[in-house]
A = this chain, B = another copy of it.
Amino acid sequence: MGFGQAQGERGIMGTHFSSLFFDSPPVPRSIRAIGEEKEFPPGSMLVENNAPIEGCYYIVEGLVFAVDFTRNGEKVLGLVIDRDALVGETSLLLDMPFPMGFQAQIKTRALFIPKADFLDLFHRDKELSQYVALLVARKMFAVKGFYSNLGKEPVVWRVCNIILEFSHRYGKDFEGGTLIAFPLSHQLIADFANANRVTVTKCMQSLTKKGLVRRINNVYGVPDVPRLEAYTKTQASSYRNTL
């Protein structure tokens, strides 16, 4: 699959803030050497949330979403891992379950690194501890942004933000605008925005009517990214409060 292909430097931390995506620093060779390859079909969990884990995973290829399940089973999607990165390392470092799970969205190949091997390498290998520090810092940045937005910002803002995030990450130039080369659906946007699908559909209809979003064949496009960015700002709770 084409997910995970670089789209230039636009999505790299430091040039564009993202609450959905993060980029892993280059994974140390030592990690690749000790991992055992496993394959995950779409929908399967690499790491269950709130459960102790036996090891962490280095995602080689595929697409993985962080998932939160509320206690009544409602699924909330979080970060997107679409390029090579470790998942589960935080649980191992803290020796406790982490409240986020990781679910394969398409067929995903990952190296399984057993807990003892990971911790041993972490203590021996400076390159690995540096890598983990940088990785967790980037994840924390995204996690902070993601959950603040869910709490603070209205649904319209969250929907616009998700479209902008995907257009920064997967945008391709098309007829003077940007085409999002990712199979976004209303349901998917709703899961990321922690919103009702019907609400998202209404929201997308309104954005389409305003010319801020277009549907071209089977994918979404943003005819004018700066215009959508400007509109999104006006929908933020802080903007509304100062009116």
Contacts and interface: CB of A to CB of B under 8 A. Distances in A.
Nearest to A151: B151
Contact of A147 (B96, B98, B122, B144): B144
A14 B90 CA distance: 12
A93 B123 CA distance: 20
Interface stretch (A31-39, A66-74, A182-190): A66-74
A174 B170 CA distance: 59
Copies in the complex: 2
**Interface of chain A, main secondary structure:** helix
Interface in A104-138: 122-123, 126, 129-130, 132-134, 136-138
- How many interface residues does chain A have, given as a range? 35 or more
Contacts of A147: 143-144, 147-148, 150-151
Nearest to A93: B137
A13 interface: yes
A219 interface: no
A1 interface: no
Interface stretch (A160-168, A202-210, A233-241): A233-241
Interface in A22-81: 68, 70-72
A95 interface: yes
A198 interface: no
A197 interface: no
Contacts of A70: 152, 237-238, 241
Contacts of A144: 98-100, 143, 147
B133 A72 contact: no
Contacts of A226: none
A145 interface: yes
A72 B241 CA distance: 7
Contacts of A216: none
Contacts of A68: 148
B129 A136 contact: no
Contacts of A141: 90, 94, 98
9 contacts: A70-B237, A90-B141, A94-B141, A122-B133, A129-B130, A136-B137, A139-B140, A143-B143, A144-B147
